[in-house]
Amino acid sequence: MPRAIALITTVLACTANVHAKEWNVPLQTPSVEYEREGTIGKLPIRMHLAVTDVYRCTDDHLQWLVGDRYSGWYAYTKIGEHLELDGFYNSQGAGGASEHPPLEINETVGGKHSGYFSTTQDNIFHGMWKNIGDPPKALRYSLHVVSSRRLTPAEPDDSICPKGRSAEDETSQP
């Protein structure tokens, strides 16, 4: 209940000052880590994916949860090389609410964007994998549980949006 009151207070305060500068801040500790196995097309893979809460801050030091950052890796079982993964889910939505919010988790190889997992936020372990190549490919992927663990990140506090820090101090956003 205190979290709901804090959220309502934050929303009301934010609507009062719509001209404040804003920036996103991911927490340092993921809230969930997943180990999954499955396939892309017919090729077996293993995936490690961490989900971290992301908060929005304003120059007025207000904060509220805006989404999830996805990070980790996957590897084809026969090859073993880790391919980096990252993505961001904006819970505030672009274009309004959706019954199955879309999500893309990007794949990076050698620092270059090489493909992505196209799915929905409510079902991230089934969808389409698409490469950025010539010719482009799209294959179904499906992953099942190997393990998952819920972590307990610290509750957001004033350290998320510390006084003396502003949008100009931020050089990158998730």
Residue type, 139: L
29 band by pLDDT with thresholds 50, 70 and 90: low
Q: Parse the chain into domains and list their residue ranges.
A: 21-165
Whether the per-residue pLDDT at 15 is higher than 50: the answer is no
pLDDT for 167: 47
CA separation for the pair 58, 162 (Å, rounded)? 10
CA separation for the pair 123, 120 (Å, rounded)? 5
CB 55 within 8 A of CB 63: yes
CB 23 within 8 A of CB 170: yes
pLDDT for 49: 93
CB 114 within 8 A of CB 133: yes
pLDDT for 119: 86
Lowest mean pLDDT of 9-18, 49-58, 90-99, 111-120, name the range: 9-18
Domain 21-165 fold is Porin (2.40.160)
pLDDT for 20: 43
What is the four-CA torsion angle of 27, 31, 37, 40, rounded to 10 degrees?
A: -50
pLDDT per position as a tens digit, 59-79: 676 777 778 889 999 999 999
pLDDT for 12: 36
Q: Average pLDDT, stretch 142-161?
A: 75
Grouping H, G, I as helix, E, B as strand and the rest as coil, residue 171 is coil
CA separation for the pair 56, 161 (Å, rounded)? 8
